């Protein structure tokens, strides 16, 4: 299985020209990698423009979100239909920043169901805000997965990617980093939950990613010792040279 490296640009960059320049620089390197699937998730406003640059499928595009309705009076929302109309093929759902704005597990479940009506791959983000000594955070993450995937068939569950992002380890205010051992523990828990939800032969092939202050200095340790199949990269993906380093590390891991 190829390593899956997803860049989440969030609300960056501010100019379309800069977005195209960054995409081109990454795409040039990604086209030479045999063991990595590179996905770029820019702000929605850039999807059409960057889609024009997707010719050799070196970089695949993704969306940072999608609404569950197909069309209608939903000001500011973008449907899975619209996303599929671009060249995007992945959709991030349940990101911690969306959850912080009030997105619920029920909302996420509806989004995944809508996304799966198209040849799109949902990237379900799960993770705890903090870790407690009695391990209640494990129950929280398990519930996030169960509620997000409720009423999905085995085939539908098999199309989902899971990204573990411990909120406590993200950003400049993080008190400590998530160690590869922490990541490995949670990856094992996620695999166990998935096996309980669906056919174990199907779920064992579901990619699990790590996302949380990933950079070129720690990416190798997560890929080798964290029991994950790839990375969800935030801030570091906005630096072309830094992100390319991560891609090359993934290629060799």
Distances from the Cα of 1 to the Cα of 56, 59, 121, 206, 208, angstroms: 20, 17, 16, 10, 12
Q: Looking at residue 202, what is its pLDDT?
A: 79
Mean pLDDT of 154-178: 88
Residue 180, SS3 per DSSP:
helix
Q: Looking at residue 176, what is its pLDDT?
A: 76
Q: Does the annotation count 128 as an active-site position?
A: no
pTM of the model: 0.96
Tell me the per-residue pLDDT of 191-224, one tens digit each, with 9 for 90 and over. Answer: 999 999 987 787 889 999 999 999 999 999 999 9
More confident position, 5 or 57:
5
Catalytic residue among 37, 103, 165, 251: 165
Catalytic residue among 70, 95, 185, 188: 95
Q: Does the annotation count 95 as an active-site position?
A: yes
Instruction: List the domains of the chain with CATH numbers.
Output: 3-252 (3.20.20.70)
Mean pLDDT of 58-86: 96
pLDDT of 60 higher than 70 = yes
Whole-angstrom distance, CA of residue 33 vs CA of residue 39: 13
Q: Looking at residue 172, what is its pLDDT?
A: 66
Tell me the per-residue pLDDT of 175-200, one tens digit each, with 9 for 90 and over. Answer: 677 999 999 999 999 999 999 998 77
Residue pair 6/62 in contact by the 8 Å Cβ criterion: yes
């Amino acid at each position: 299985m190829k390593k899956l490296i997803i860049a989440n640009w969030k609300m960056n960059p501010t100019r379309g020209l800069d977005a195209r320049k960054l995409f081109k620089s990454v795409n040039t390197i990604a086209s030479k990698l045999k063991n990595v699937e590179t996905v770029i998730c820019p702000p929605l406003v850039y999807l059409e423009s960057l889609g024009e640059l997707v010719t050799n499928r070196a970089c695949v595009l993704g969306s940072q979100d999608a609404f569950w309705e197909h069309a209608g009076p939903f000001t500011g929302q973008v449907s899975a239909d619209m996303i599929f109309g671009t060249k995007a093929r992945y959709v991030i759902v349940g990101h911690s920043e969306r959850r912080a704005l009030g997105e619920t597990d029920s909302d996420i479940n509806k989004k995944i169901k809508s996304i799966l009506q198209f040849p799109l791959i949902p990237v379900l983000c799960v993770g705890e805000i903090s870790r407690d000594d009695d391990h209640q955070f494990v129950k929280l993450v398990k519930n996030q997965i169960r509620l997000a995937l409720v009423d999905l068939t085995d085939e539908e569950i098999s199309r989902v990617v899971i990204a573990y992002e411990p909120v406590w380890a993200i950003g400049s205010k993080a008190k400590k980093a998530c160690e590869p051992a922490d990541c490995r523990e949670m990856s094992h828990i996620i695999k166990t939950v998935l096996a309980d939800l669906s056919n174990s032969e199907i779920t064992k092939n579901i990619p699990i990613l790590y996302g949380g202050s990933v950079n070129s200095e720690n990416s190798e340790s997560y890929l080798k010792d964290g029991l994950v199949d790839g990375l969800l990269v935030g801030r570091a993906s906005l630096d072309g040279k830094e992100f390319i380093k991560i891609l090359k590390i993934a290629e060799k891991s």
